Structure 1
Amino acid sequence: MIEAVIFDMDGLMVDTESFYTQAITEVANKRGREFTLKLKQEMMGRQGIESMTIFKEQLELEETPLELLEERSKIFGGLLNASRIEPLPGLLKLLDELRKEGIRRAIASSSKRCWIEIIVSRFGLDGEFEVIVSGDDVRYGKPDPEIYLLTARRLGLSPENCLVLEDAPVGVIAAKKAGMYCIVCPNQFSQGLDFSLADTVVNSLEDVTLNLITNLTES
């Protein structure tokens, strides 16, 4: 029985992946490098320092991953603060349905806690999520299951009673390693990637219904 649904954030709840792409493209172009979709997909869903380590190694840059991360974060923060952001289609309706059904809600995102709090607040969802676990709270990022196992512990639930909503392959791996159900809603950057480990793949959060969750977990 599913007692909680755990949401990833970037690319699932909100299209911040476009902001990250714009920010990291600027960092790459400043150094005469090209930021490709393939590299984007390798970095997606990972903790900031890990993703920037991949970025540094692939583009053979001199700066440390931390220096690159700080530069990216500054650009990203400016974009986030200057832009109007909206919940992705289906998010608010799904949260409402889960709330009415008594299913608990949580966020487990590789993003920094400050970014998560800004987005939750701007969506008017303060208090909506019982537990929020960020990349700041764990030692190992996705695809390690630590972030999902920690979320389950803070909810006081067994992993098998949790369902994860993800948009990136590393997140799916993390969820399944944690022993949780996982539904994938690919974003514009993760379309066509390998989601064979997921329990099912849907087009968007609009397709995630209580019936789907029930049928998936009881089959």
Structure 2
Amino acid sequence: MALPALLHAAIFDMDGTLVDNMRFHSEAWVSLSRRLGIDATAERFEREFAGKKNEEILPVLLGRAVAPEELAQLAEEKETHYRKLYGPHLGLMRGAEAFISRLRSAGHRLAVATAAPPGNRTLVLDGLGIRSLFSRVVGAEEVVRGKPAPDIFLTAARHLEVAPSACVVFEDAVNGILAARSAGMFAVGITTTTPPEVLREAGAHWVAADFATLPPELEARLFGNTSRAVGGR
């Protein structure tokens, strides 16, 4: 894929990207698994399940089909526990506020595309007062398939009225990078949960620890020059 002169839209994953919260999700999943008598690790959830919908995760975790009522009950148990764990630690990823402000000032269209259920989106987006910064928030309920399928990112691009090839996606998980690449978009791996070499192997065009240390090459694609590269890199 040839790099365009400029990108025109940015799509953000939420968990592990806009906020550094994945360890709290993993803790809640491990707690639920143990209650159900399943031996599961935090690493498995971060590696295998990040970006997927609860209705995709639970049948795999349990090794059987799950009736809708049971699925809803188990998902709510896990998400309620997660929100209790993470709520006191709520905060934006380093550099995110300034970066989003620069994108908006430059006229870029912005969206959030996340598998997080509505209650979790409310906690983060409304709890931090940032929902209004995005033209569109796309949730898992709007698509049939979760990541690594491209559906959620393609839906976001459609709502933003921007071609996929002019979009850059910010993601922390391998499934999210795979989804972005499958959608024909550019991908930035944020290394909160996954090593940079793993994100690159999945197809990330760029990697960064946070939004204060984005590569100059990405800055050039977004803002037309590297003179204001965040973090001075």
Please say whether Structure 1 and Structure 2 have the same fold, judged by a TM-score greater than 0.5. Answer: yes
Determine whether 1:76 maps to 2:82. yes
How many residues get paired? 214
Shift in Å at residue 205 of structure 1?
1.8
Shift in Å at residue 116 of structure 1?
1.4
The structure 2 residue matched to 1:148, chosen from 150, 153, 157, is: 153
Alignment of 1:193-212 (within 5 A): 193-196=198-201, 197-208=203-214, 212=218
The structure 1 residue matched to 2:133, chosen from 128, 133, 139, is: 128
Point out where structure 1 has 5 or more consecutive residues left out of the alignment.
none
Determine whether 1:107 maps to 2:112. yes
Aligned pair in 2 of structure 1 residues 66, 56: CA closer, same or farther (>3 Å)?
A: farther
Query: 2: CA distance between counterparts of 1:3 and 1:14?
Result: 23
Shift in Å at residue 210 of structure 1?
7.1
Query: 1: CA distance between counterparts of 2:65 and 2:34?
Result: 12
Structure 1 range deviating more: 5-14 or 36-45 = 36-45
- Quote the residue 1:46 is aligned against: 52
Query: 2: CA distance between counterparts of 1:21 and 1:140?
Result: 21
Amino acid at match of 2:55: I
Alignment of 1:173-188 (within 5 A): 173-187=178-192
Aligned pair in 2 of structure 1 residues 190, 117: CA closer, same or farther (>3 Å)?
A: same
Shift in Å at residue 150 of structure 1?
0.6
Do 2:30 and 2:42's aligned partners in 1 also have CA atoms closer than 8 Å?
A: no
Shift in Å at residue 38 of structure 1?
3.7
Shift in Å at residue 65 of structure 1?
4.7
Query: 1: CA distance between counterparts of 2:137 and 2:147?
Result: 16
Point out where structure 2 has 5 or more consecutive residues left out of the alignment.
1-5, 225-233
Query: 1: CA distance between counterparts of 2:219 and 2:188?
Result: 9
Aligned pair in 2 of structure 1 residues 61, 140: CA closer, same or farther (>3 Å)?
A: closer
Aligned pair in 2 of structure 1 residues 52, 19: CA closer, same or farther (>3 Å)?
A: same
Aligned pair in 2 of structure 1 residues 190, 91: CA closer, same or farther (>3 Å)?
A: same
Determine whether 1:137 maps to 2:158. no
Alignment TM-score, normalising by the size of structure 2: 0.82
Identity %: 26
Shift in Å at residue 209 of structure 1?
6.2
Do 1:199 and 1:216's aligned partners in 2 also have CA atoms closer than 8 Å?
A: no
3-state SS in 1 of match to 2:133: coil
Do 1:12 and 1:167's aligned partners in 2 also have CA atoms closer than 8 Å?
A: yes
Query: 2: CA distance between counterparts of 1:89 and 1:208?
Result: 11
RMSD of equivalent CA atoms: 2.5
Query: 1: CA distance between counterparts of 2:223 and 2:60?
Result: 36
Query: 2: CA distance between counterparts of 1:211 and 1:93?
Result: 18
- Quote the residue 1:97 is aligned against: 102
Structure 1 range deviating more: 101-110 or 15-24 = 15-24
